[in-house]
Structure 1
Amino acid sequence: MNPLPMNQSNSLSTLLFGLVITLLVAAGCNMEYKPKAKGSLDSILLVVDTTQHNASLVPAIREVFEQAIPHVPGYEPQYKMHIASFERESDLSVIENRTNVVIAAPLDEQTPTGSLVRSMLNESFEQNVRNGTSFAFPAKDVWARNQWVLVLTGVDTVAMKQAILEADTRLLEPLQTYELERWTRDIYEKGEQVELADSLMAHAGWSVRMQHDYVWNFDTTRFVQFRRPLIDNDRWIWGAWEELQDPGVITPSWIQAKRDSIMATYLKGSRPKSYITTETRRPVSTSFLDESEHLAFETLGTWTMVNDFMGGPFVHFTYYIPEQERVVFVEYGQFAPQIGKRRFVRQFRAMGRTFKVDTTLTTDSSK
């Protein structure tokens, strides 16, 4: 269980990761006997007593989970919420097979939803709630495989609403992390080009796992590109690498300058003097990728075509390999004006995390 610090002015100041299921799941239940959860990864079933909380808890929860994704061209919510009532024990069958579930009620609320919340927390967690040190409890695979459940509770609705709004995107982080894990399983279960990834490793000394229908369509000494060309949903992966002795120069502005320089050279459009570059009028964010075994950064944003009217989302990864004194750039992009971008951006984020290098290469042999 890993606490997530919150605003100390909030009496519910710690977000706990972990959930003890005391009544709903038998101890020692083998995962292989659980059914696989149903529903899309971008959908959440919200279980709440709407007769009491339509004007308080529901808007606060929606504000957090349905907020706009900042790194796609148009409005798309982080998650789509659907409300379900829980009025009797038989309603549990509607809840327990869903992919993502949020259950919200004050701890002492005398409703079926309140009873469900209490049944899902042990005495220690209940005491933490009453002491004002916990209010959110995420868990995986509660009733089904591939499932994520979040219990939100507190001493009353006022405290819950305040805690939810102050936590904001931190409530999303456990779900987003698990979603990327689930996308990784889903993408490659449907088909993977192992030989193509092996060929990339032999050519460049690094690779990422390859989805089933990408095609290697261009390469030079230090640049490669793969494409999945469809009329209504064009997607691509490009990679580049160069020597770098001092990783201290890697900053968000340095990454953007490198990306733009590479794309101006290799990602040209069909019109004269057209090429892809970063769309700086929209949010661009770079974060440290702490789960990577390498020094790594992830950049999210949108691209635009200079001297043309095109644009779309991108997900970029910068990996530094100290043993080889080499930096590797891997980027995923999409052009699909008529199609939602959310699930593809999530897929890109999952795919880029499969990066690996040839550990037998030395500093000299990688140049």
Structure 2
Amino acid sequence: MNKAHFLFLLIPFFFISCAKKNDNLPRKATGKINTISVIIDDQLWNGEIGDSIRNKFASPVIGLPQEEPLFTINQYPVKLMEGFMTDSRTIIVVKKEEKNQFVIKKNQYASPQNVFHISGKTSSGILKIIEKNAPKIIQTIKETEIVESQRINGQSLLNPQTIANKFHISLKVPSGYLYVLQDTSFIWLKKEIVSGNSSLLIYQVPISSIKKDPNSVANIVKMRDSIGDLYIRGTELDTHMITEEGYAPYLFKVKLNGKETYETKGTWELKNDFMSGPFINYAIVDKQHDRILVLEGFCYSPSKEERDLMHELESIIKSIIVLK
């Protein structure tokens, strides 16, 4: 057998082998950010089980000026648990079965994907499982959506060394953001959108700027209001960004890049003006560099929903790596 015939015989086997390998690869998960496919029969969806799911997973997002759901929910009957529904990044399957059970399956039909299986003998059994496991489900979905946002956002054309040199950090800033203002220890990035704009602030203050409880919230408000007075001003005289005075911000203690961090969510307003919107502020206690490193995202989009804009800003901030 000559070489030509031998190669000719090999080619079909090569393509068959590749096809089999591709068949084994998981499908790519699809869907909009912060969207859940709930697979549940109409009878359960229209009763107290459906009410519980809506109350848990479509509750209002904290820190937004107007009510928006935590997740967008699309409901489908169990018989439709085929085809494009299984490509969703987040799926909750609720059934009445002989066993009370809660199972999380990673990448069951596509990747990246979380499929949450909830089953029970009775409605009360299912409700107990939802009540017990809702916080874990929400946390898992949020973490997956942050990672997915970081993946799809793309890399900015901005020179990353500018941020690295000034603050000793790396940050995944997506395309569309441009430098608005730079100072010795302050950077303002902004992205223009159809309905307004999204902004990201990076700055640092002395490590003593934030005292321990019960003064943490007051110190953070004072800190961000002073930054607003210095840098974030309106077009009219004596207009600058402040924390909205009518509502106390929400404060949480979290870990960011392994460091103790104060997470603050609330609304901002332009003093002596009518502009306002939501903000999310992360004050990182960076003992290594003897500072409080602050990353804040805020947006102005009065005619559009702001949940996903704030989610994008949160995903940028959570990509931070503090360099040694």
Q: For the superposition of Structure 1 and Structure 2, which TM-score range results when normalised by the shorter chain?
A: 0.7 to 0.9
CA distance in 2, matches of 1:198, 1:59: 50
- Residue in structure 1 matched with residue 54 of structure 2 by the alignment: 62
Report if aligned partners of 1:34, 1:143 keep a CA contact under 8 Å in 2.
yes
- Residue in structure 1 matched with residue 281 of structure 2 by the alignment: 316
SS in 1 for 2:251: strand
**Equivalence map 1:3-14=2 (5 Å):** none
Structure 1 residues 230 and 105: CA distance shift in structure 2, 3 A? closer
Task: Tell me how far 1:146 sits from its aligned partner.
Answer: 2.1
The percentage of aligned residue pairs carrying the same residue is 17
Task: Tell me how far 1:283 sits from its aligned partner.
Answer: 5.7
Structure 1 residues 31 and 337: CA distance shift in structure 2, 3 A? farther
1:192 to 124, 142, 156: 156
Task: Tell me how far 1:138 sits from its aligned partner.
Answer: 2.9
1:221 to 178, 181, 184: 184
1:274 to 228, 231, 239: 239
Structure 1 residues 312 and 168: CA distance shift in structure 2, 3 A? same
CA deviations 1:157-216 (Å, max 9, x no partner) are: 11322443465545412111211111111112xx333x5221111133334222112111
Report if aligned partners of 1:226, 1:236 keep a CA contact under 8 Å in 2.
yes
**Equivalence map 1:13-28=2 (5 Å):** none
Unaligned runs of 5+ in 2: 1-20
- Residue in structure 1 matched with residue 112 of structure 2 by the alignment: 146
CA distance in 2, matches of 1:68, 1:224: 31
- Residue in structure 2 matched with residue 74 of structure 1 by the alignment: 66
Report if aligned partners of 1:138, 1:174 keep a CA contact under 8 Å in 2.
no
Unaligned runs of 5+ in 1: 1-28, 109-125, 130-134, 360-367
1:173 to 116, 139, 152: 139
1:262 to 227, 236, 251: 227
CA distance in 2, matches of 1:32, 1:199: 43
CA deviations 1:39-83 (Å, max 9, x no partner) are: 212221111122355212111111111111122111211112122
Per the normalisation by structure 1, the TM-score is 0.75
Report if aligned partners of 1:71, 1:300 keep a CA contact under 8 Å in 2.
yes
Structure 1 residues 32 and 286: CA distance shift in structure 2, 3 A? farther
Instruction: Letter of the 2:321 partner, please give it.
Output: K
Q: Say which one has the larger Rg.
A: 2
SS in 2 for 1:69: coil
Higher-helix-fraction structure: 2
- Residue in structure 2 matched with residue 362 of structure 1 by the alignment: none
Structure 1 residues 94 and 220: CA distance shift in structure 2, 3 A? closer
The answer to whether structure 1 residue 96 and structure 2 residue 59 are counterparts is no
CA distance in 2, matches of 1:246, 1:73: 28
Task: Tell me how far 1:99 sits from its aligned partner.
Answer: 2.2
Report if aligned partners of 2:41, 2:77 keep a CA contact under 8 Å in 1.
yes
Q: How big is the alpha-carbon RMSD for the aligned residues of Structure 1 and Structure 2? A: 2.5
Instruction: Letter of the 1:304 partner, please give it.
Output: E
The answer to whether structure 1 residue 105 and structure 2 residue 95 are counterparts is yes
- Residue in structure 1 matched with residue 35 of structure 2 by the alignment: 43
